[in-house]
Structure 1
């Protein structure tokens, strides 16, 4: 509102009529920015969509393709930006390997969000990273093909082992 940009959200708590009204407003240009949960990862087709931002990576590689594919319809081009934290870098590498047959996606690391050395050492010891500045974690990709346990409802054995390794690394510093 401060910059006179019309923005609306789409989420699962809206009824179908409200969702359709908001989509219609977005398609017509009345609403300039539409923020959506995974609810809209599939099934929304907006012609000429110039950009998609992924603030969080989807769980599956196929959902990543559906989300980012919103920009490149019918020969048109667009941009997709995904915010990837160090903890999700291995999962992002898995998405590249699975959906892009090994092609890498251009990355830009923002220095103001870079990890300090102590954080790096803890995560490296936990198997989440292997080399500072690496495109993706070579150790983590094989180590962590399935993120987050039983569809995110409970921690996997790998998650528990990572936490134990991180704790041990932290305790050995003290």
Structure 2
């Protein structure tokens, strides 16, 4: 039998409200280890139905416990990006950003983190760029072109090896 990988964040949607769960059933439903569920019970933050064994956990209590453990989503301001080095939202160093058009309606913006000075990136829609330009000095640069998009493709020609023909382009016949 293949073992299910442990979950990073237990999914509270796997729990039914009107059902009671044992420690084993809770660990299987959420994809966490049994000792983890026992730690939750021992901390007193997760309540059991009664003090008898096996310990039974009411589904509604389990859902409330898991929702209380969630971190609130961070909303970034228009002039901030998430820096993966600092693990926090950061503004641009020097209040400057570089703008590259990704498609007709979206732009990739590169800034330097104000703390660690590493590049941080964020994608903006065309209508968000005006609000961004009010907060930062935005400089636009042209996107790197792919080989297919260029008018003059690279002429890598395989030359014949030997004698006088080295360095000469092959003749067109």
TM-score range, shorter chain: under 0.3
Please, what TM-score do these two structures have when normalized by structure 2? 0.25
Write 1 or 2 for the structure with the bigger share of strand.
2
When Rg is computed on C-alpha atoms for both structures, the one with the higher figure is 2
